[in-house]
Chain A
């Protein structure tokens, strides 16, 4: 566990906030796809830690960002933390995304809050041709557009209601994209139905795909076995653990029911 000082808090949309942590430790250790298990205060209102992905890292300022949506008690408490205060984090935890070779090409597909870990991934692979396909509910939910635009050669946005970018889902954008070109790898993070559809599309086009899974966690380090995710195991399936063996998996390994 580490106490990290909060250097800034900034609302990016009515319910999504960026927490900037002043931490050389995180700057030098965080890899894209990894997460922090964050304690949201010491009240029993949010007893367990909350897993939140590392969204960005800035070497010049020595800061690491997490970006999260206020959902329930834990994220609400966390959003109330003031700059200058400290938060108790465990991590970076979990396995990072596997990179594409320099000179190759990649596509990231993010849905809503699932897009956040993909930003650090794009930033760490400047020598790869990068395309970002993001889906949000509506115009108000679109966040980090500029950051994604400046860390990719092409950014496309879809909203469910068509109020920003194209109408539809990020998976519609992926479908169209793969009809035109085959990247070396597609990286997906978002709601389960979206990830299921995206993996299906990638398999249909025979393109490698990595996904970042979500599951409710206890310890966050692999000791309690609560964060189970169904994965292929020979003819059958097994339960592997998102915090330790994930959160990033080869998309083909996941059994989406």
Chain B
């Protein structure tokens, strides 16, 4: 009796090598410690850690979350212990596991981005994900990530300092995401990840106030999935570098859809709040799909969409 052949899940996203294409999305998974109590982190392909800045950040005033139909709005505002504490305290923890570590980095100025990327290039991380798209910090990432010249300026500057695979995370809050994607590629990005959250708002009509302490916040979860899928598809066709897809993924079928649309790997965030086992479960479900449909490897799914 010969065992059924199982598909090869390994992926290589422009130098970021992972044993499978499932990554925990930045900001929803902390530095992994909390979910290590729920499952073995070595099951994951990668972990994109909470968005880091040069100095610790306190974050925005609460409330920082509002539930909306099939999704959530958040306005955490990049609360984090700063890149140095991350390197001292969190990397050693994460390195106990066989999982790719992706450092999600943010800043308010080009100089901030250059400095943090320089520091992270000397640290034991597998990839740097540049967050140019966080909608929560005043005069922050948003100003860079929402225009092609902003992107070009930061990515060009950062590229010179970066000695790790450089992934640029795109915001959906733009008119033409392919323009931003092409600008990132031209400026030296090794790969792209998308989408970050969609700018939104919720109002409590009884108190007549915004629900979020920050007034506006970023929408994520199943509600954004069709938008994310469309953007991943458009971007994957517009650039030659690999794309990592996310936005509302809650199952293996969702993940497969993103890969068919052109993603080389996927990230999962919000769905983990509802079901912490979504990350490992999705890996199993992708494998089942590959085996059932006779794909020899996860990489074969990327862009395998049949158009009408």
**Which residues of A does B touch, CB under 8 Å?**
1, 39, 44, 46-49, 90, 215-230, 238-239, 244
Select from chain A the residue with minimum beta-carbon distance to B71.
Answer: A47
Do residues A46 and B67 form an inter-chain contact, with CB atoms below 8 A? yes
Residues of A within 8 A of B274 (CB): 39, 47-49
Chain A interface mostly: loop
**Which residues of B does A touch, CB under 8 Å?**
27-30, 33-35, 37-38, 50, 58-67, 69-72, 74, 76, 79, 221-222, 270, 272-277
| Pairs across A and B, CB under 8 Å, 14 listed | A47-B67, A47-B69, A90-B276, A215-B62, A215-B63, A218-B74, A222-B33, A222-B34, A223-B35, A224-B65, A224-B74, A226-B65, A228-B59, A228-B62
Residues of B within 8 A of A228 (CB): 59-62, 64, 79
Residues of A within 8 A of B60 (CB): 228
Do residues B66 and A224 form an inter-chain contact, with CB atoms below 8 A? no
Report the minimum CB–CB distance from A42 to chain B (whole Å). 9
Do residues B70 and A224 form an inter-chain contact, with CB atoms below 8 A? no
Q: Which of A48, A221, A225 contacts B50 (CB 8 A)?
A: A225
Do residues A217 and B34 form an inter-chain contact, with CB atoms below 8 A? no
Kindly state the separation between the CA atoms of A39 and B30 in the bound complex, as whole angstroms: 21
Select from chain B the residue with minimum beta-carbon distance to A219.
Answer: B273
Contacts A39-B274, A49-B274, A238-B58 given; does A218 touch B79 at CB 8 Å? no
Do residues B34 and A219 form an inter-chain contact, with CB atoms below 8 A? yes
Q: Which of B58, B64, B72 contacts A47 (CB 8 A)?
A: B72
Residues of A within 8 A of B66 (CB): 216
Do residues A1 and B275 form an inter-chain contact, with CB atoms below 8 A? yes
Select from chain A the residue with minimum beta-carbon distance to B35.
Answer: A223
Do residues A223 and B59 form an inter-chain contact, with CB atoms below 8 A? no
Report the minimum CB–CB distance from A24 to chain B (whole Å). 20
Most buried by B among A49, A219, A222: A219
Select from chain B the residue with minimum beta-carbon distance to A43.
Answer: B70
Report the minimum CB–CB distance from A248 to chain B (whole Å). 18
Select from chain B the residue with minimum beta-carbon distance to A257.
Answer: B61
Report the minimum CB–CB distance from B270 to chain A (whole Å). 8
Do residues A44 and B69 form an inter-chain contact, with CB atoms below 8 A? yes
Select from chain A the residue with minimum beta-carbon distance to B50.
Answer: A225
Give the 9 A-B CB pairs with smallest separation, nearest first: A223-B30, A226-B65, A44-B70, A226-B64, A228-B62, A223-B34, A221-B34, A222-B34, A218-B273
Do residues A224 and B63 form an inter-chain contact, with CB atoms below 8 A? no
